[in-house]
Amino acid sequence: MKKSLLALAVLGTMAGAASAQSSVTLFGVVDVNAKYVKNDGFDNRKSLGTDGINSSRLGFRGVEDLGGGLKAGFWLEGALQPDTGTLSKFDFRRRSTLSLIGGFGELRLGRDYTPIFWNQTVFDPFGTNGVGSSINLSHNTGQPTYVRADNSAAYFLPAGLGGLYGWAQIAAAEGSPQANGKFASGRIGYAAGPFDIAAAISQQYLEPGKFKQWNISGSWDFGVAKVLAQLNNEKITDIVAPFQEERRFLLGAVVPLGQGEIHASYIRNDVRSSDSDANQLALGYVYNLSKRTAIYGQGARINNKGASAFSVSGGTSSPGGPTAGGNSTGFELGIRHFF
């Protein structure tokens, strides 16, 4: 609902002169699916799930033209649970930022995605969603700044630099380094025509240790298929950890077929200090009923080794396994709508 009166009512009354130069948008995504997961050592689980190809959300965003090429913008976005309709704990922890935008680029303050995670998700054929997500094969998704960072300040390079783009971010610990993850990250990339390549690096303080990441990702759109590749390294230093360093490789593709798309990926996670590796195969199909509504089906299988116990339903913390070294298989059939 573009420039919605409802959004204006929720956010408060604006003066006539200000609203003439401002825009506010109410937006969201609803994604619901039927899911089946079988983890070795446990009974299979059938459920009504969410977020198969996109994360369900509700948000408000707006921009005000300040004149002289300068703009102010805000973005407030929170997660939805459309399978239950739960809103009792609704907040804006998906994103809560205020920006100043101009010819110099963008200065963005608040809670936001980290550059290191963004460089993973945009080069994942499944967008780090659903049973085929690439971060299913990470032992470190519980780190406080793995996906987003609180108390962050970020700078984005302006557009029009001949294909060059970049983003730097720092986040304050505010007296509690372990909880808030004193953090720094940066991303630099180049896109031209069908080609796109980017690299990112990050460091999070754990007190006394550090969680360090780097990744290199790229894609090439051949028309008949878009091929994506990614190499991600995650390491915990100065702490004795069972999976102290791991390296994850992804090779994937998105193949357009009329109103539909085939999504596929192969991921391997190599634990450097032990034989606790894992690999994942994922395949999906998305059919666009319109520009906003799509139906989809997808499946994935994870083969664990050693002490690894990854699940297609999300990392190693999912209830019901699998047992260490076991396999995990999952399928989703769903529908997604943008508004």
What confidence score (pLDDT) does residue 332 get? 97
- Under 8 Å between Cβ of 115 and 168: yes
- Under 8 Å between Cβ of 57 and 79: yes
Compute CA distances 307 → 132, 251, 310, 316, whole Å: 21, 24, 10, 11
Q: What share of the chain is helix, strand, coil (3-state, %, to 5)?
A: 10, 55, 35
The CATH number assigned to the domain holding 161 equals 2.40.160.10
- Under 8 Å between Cβ of 111 and 97: yes
Cα gap 276→309, rounded to integer Å: 9
Total structural domains in the chain? Answer: 1
What confidence score (pLDDT) does residue 181 get? 65
Whether the model pTM is above 0.75 = yes
Q: Which of 75, 157, 176 is nearest to 115 (CA)?
A: 157
pLDDT by residue for the chain (339 residues), tens only, comes to 444 434 444 444 434 444 446 899 999 999 999 999 999 998 888 999 999 999 999 999 999 999 999 999 999 999 999 999 877 678 999 999 999 999 999 999 999 999 999 999 999 999 999 999 999 999 999 898 999 999 999 999 999 999 999 999 999 888 655 555 689 999 999 999 999 999 999 999 987 789 999 999 999 999 999 999 999 999 999 877 778 899 999 999 999 999 999 999 999 999 988 889 999 999 999 999 999 999 999 999 999 999 999 999 865 544 567 999 999 999 999 999 999
The DSSP symbol for 81 reads: B
Distance from chain centroid for Cα 270: 22
Name the H helices within the chain. Answer: 5-11, 16-19, 115-121, 177-180
- Under 8 Å between Cβ of 132 and 265: yes
Burial 287-309 (b: 16+ CB within 10 A, else e): eeeeeeebbbbbbbbbbbbeebb
- Under 8 Å between Cβ of 299 and 36: no
- Under 8 Å between Cβ of 182 and 201: no
Start-to-end C-alpha separation, the chain: 7
- Under 8 Å between Cβ of 3 and 306: no
What confidence score (pLDDT) does residue 147 get? 97
Structural domain span for residue 173: 5-338
- Under 8 Å between Cβ of 255 and 288: no
